[in-house]
C-alpha cells in the first residue's frame, strides 16, 4: 500500500514506531510529519497530509498528535477525508468496513490497551463492505 503519515510534536515517537512498522511490512510511506518535539500546530500537519492524499496515488493515511483528537477534527474539515480516531482493534477495523475511513488518527500521549501497530494493521487489512454503508458514506461526503 501507499500510505501518507503526518504528526505533530506530541506524537514523534508514535509516528516513528508506526513508520518503521509499515516500512518493515513492505508499504511505501510518505512521511510528512515532524521528527522532533519542536512545537507545530496539528491543523497544519493534518492539511499537509490530507492535501497530499487528495493529489492521488495513496491508499490510506495516518495522523498522530498528542491525543489524536485535534488532528482528526482538522482532517475531517477537508473534502474527501473521512478520518476516524481509533482506540482498539474493533474501531480500527470497523471504521474501514462501515465508514470507508481513509485516515485514522492516534495519540502519542494515549496509553492504548493494544499495540498501536496491531490497530494500524487492522485498519489496513479491513475492506469497505459497501452495501447499505455506501449510502451513509455518500451522505458524509456530501456534507463537505
- The tens digit of pLDDT for each residue in 74-104 reads 999 999 999 999 999 999 999 999 999 999 9
Q: Does residue 144 surpass a pLDDT of 90? A: no
Q: What is the pLDDT of residues 30-78, one digit of tens each?
A: 999 999 999 999 999 999 999 999 999 999 999 999 999 999 999 999 9
Give the helix/strand (H/E) hosting 84: strand 83-85
Give, in degrees to the nearest 5, the angle at Cα 142 between 6 and 56. 40
What pTM did the predictor assign?
0.97
Handedness of CA 47, 48, 53, 58 (dihedral sign): negative
Cell of 66: 498528542
Q: What is the number of other CB atoms lying within 10 angstroms of the CB of residue 84?
A: 23
Percentage of the chain modeled with pLDDT above 90: 97
In this structure, CATH architecture of domain 2-142: 3-Layer(aba) Sandwich (3.40)
| Residues classed as catalytic | 65, 98
Query: How far is 137 from 132, CA to CA, in rounded Å?
Result: 9
**CA dist., res. 65 & res. 68, Å (int):** 5
Q: What is the pLDDT of residue 143?
A: 86
The contacts of residue 100 (CB under 8 Å, 6+ apart) are 82, 128, 133, 134, 137
Amino acid at each position: 500500500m501507499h500510505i501518507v503519515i503526518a504528526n505533530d510534536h506530541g506524537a514523534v515517537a508514535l509516528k516513528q514506531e508506526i513508520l518503521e512498522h509499515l516500512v518493515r511490512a513492505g508499504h511505501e510511506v510518505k512521511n510528512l510529519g515532524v521528527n522532533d518535539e519542536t512545537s507545530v500546530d496539528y491543523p497544519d500537519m493534518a492539511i499537509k497530509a490530507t492535501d497530499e492524499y487528495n493529489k492521488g496515488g495513496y491508499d490510506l493515511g495516518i495522523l498522530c498528535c498528542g491525543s489524536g483528537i485535534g488532528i482528526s477534527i482538522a482532517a475531517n474539515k477537508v473534502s474527501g477525508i473521512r478520518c476516524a480516531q481509533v482506540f482498539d482493534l474493533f474501531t480500527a477495523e470497523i471504521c474501514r468496513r462501515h465508514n470507508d475511513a481513509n485516515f485514522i488518527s492516534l495519540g502519542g500521549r494515549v496509553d492504548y490497551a493494544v499495540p498501536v501497530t496491531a490497530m494500524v494493521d487492522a485498519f489496513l487489512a479491513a475492506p469497505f463492505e459497501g452495501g447499505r454503508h455506501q449510502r451513509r458514506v455518500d451522505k458524509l461526503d456530501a456534507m463537505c
